[in-house]
Amino acid sequence: MVLLPHRKRIPTQQSAANGGGLHRLFNRYNCYADNRQRTTLGHSLHMDRSAYLLPSAAATPVWAKLTDIWGRKIILLAAVMTFSVGSAICATSTTMESLITGRSIRGSAAGGMIILTNVCISDLFIMR
């Protein structure tokens, strides 16, 4: 394992942390938007929350394996882009089915963003 010099570690660490922060920011914003859509569509929130959490848990090992194959940076960017696509689907949904589809896409990407942020930061620093 090759460690980066100190002057390159800090920007890399900040970039990786921004990926996790972006996930939290999108989640907080979309929580309000989804609640409004849910009341407009007239359905309960149980299916909606399950559609987010189950793909998030299931996709985490897949994202981790993809980083071993293709590298950290490109897969982290792919997770952010997938999360953005899922957010756009949720924002434009007019039926409960499209909202659940968007939440599933967002959930699978969120699993990748969470694990990849931790993996990138753990690659930068050694434990002593």
Q: Return the beta strands (E) in the chain as ranges.
A: none
Taking residues 9-24, what's their average pLDDT?
Answer: 56
What is the pLDDT of the chain when averaged over all its residues?
76
Residue 15 has pLDDT above 80, yes or no: no
Within a domain: 13: yes
Report in angstroms the alpha-carbon separations of 106 from 1, 7, 10, 50, 121: 32, 34, 28, 12, 22
| 8 pLDDT more than 80 | no
Give domain status of residue 1, yes or no: no
- Tell me how many domains the chain contains: 1
Residue 89 lies in a domain: yes
Mean pLDDT on 68-97 = 88
Residues in the chain: 128
pLDDT tens for each residue of 24-82: 555 555 565 556 666 666 665 566 677 888 898 899 999 999 998 998 889 988 998 99
Residue 90 lies in a domain: yes
Q: Residue 113: inside a domain, yes or no?
A: yes
- The number of C-alpha atoms within 13 Å of 49 and in the hemisphere containing its C-beta is 5
| Residue-number span of the structural domain to which 76 is assigned | 6-124
The answer to whether residue 62 is domain-embedded is yes
78 in any annotated domain? yes
